[in-house]
Homo-oligomer: A and B are copies of this chain.
Amino acid sequence: MLEISDLAQQTGLSAHTLRYYEKRGLIKASNRSEAGYRFYTDSDVRRVQFVKAARNAGFSLNDIGQLLSIRVDKHSHSCQEVTDITQKKLLEVNAKMAELQSMQQTLELLLASCCGGPENATHCSIMEALDAGLSRENEN
């Protein structure tokens, strides 16, 4: 039986975060001491590790809630439900990537155009480009 700080150490999450996850309904200590201290079993540890792996994959805590309810009763859920959640997340990630790529490209162009030197910015091509609205092309 692990106390919360032991679990924190084993998972790399803070005790605060673990209590927060409990408040969110994601995890729960299997046992409590008479004084109310949380005690975690190996099964609890595995559940937390599942949550952590899902976080690394990019799932939101809400997504993870769904994945966890599938996990505890796999018989009542299908592979399709799991892929639906995963696919949806992939689409979100792809959308954000596209946004960031556009920023990246813009920033690289800006940097390539500016001398970056110590003289004053009256002629700065970055400022000019921003003044020109990034030379059209940006719908949205």
Tell me if B114 and A74 are in contact (CB < 8 A). no
In the bound complex, CA of A119 to CA of B77 (Å): 8
Q: Select which of B83, B101, B130, B140 is within 8 A of A97 by beta carbon.
A: B101
Given contacts A56-B138, A82-B114, A121-B81, contact A71 B126 (CB under 8 A): no
Given contacts A75-B120, A104-B97, contact A83 B57 (CB under 8 A): no
Copies per complex of this chain:
2
Given contacts A80-B118, A127-B71, contact A56 B106 (CB under 8 A): yes
Q: Which residue on chain B has the smallest CB distance to residue A138?
A: B56
Chain A's interface size range is: 35 or more
Given contacts A79-B121, A104-B94, contact A87 B58 (CB under 8 A): no
A54 is an interface residue with CB less than 8 A from chain B: yes
In the bound complex, CA of A111 to CA of B94 (Å): 14
Give chain B residues whose Cβ lies under 8 Å from the Cβ of A58. 100, 103, 106-107
A1 is an interface residue with CB less than 8 A from chain B: no
Give the Cβ gap from A79 to chain B, nearest Cβ, in Å: 5
Sampled A-B contacts (16; CB under 8 Å): A53-B131, A56-B103, A57-B107, A77-B121, A78-B120, A79-B114, A79-B120, A82-B114, A82-B121, A82-B124, A83-B111, A86-B107, A86-B110, A90-B107, A93-B107, A100-B100
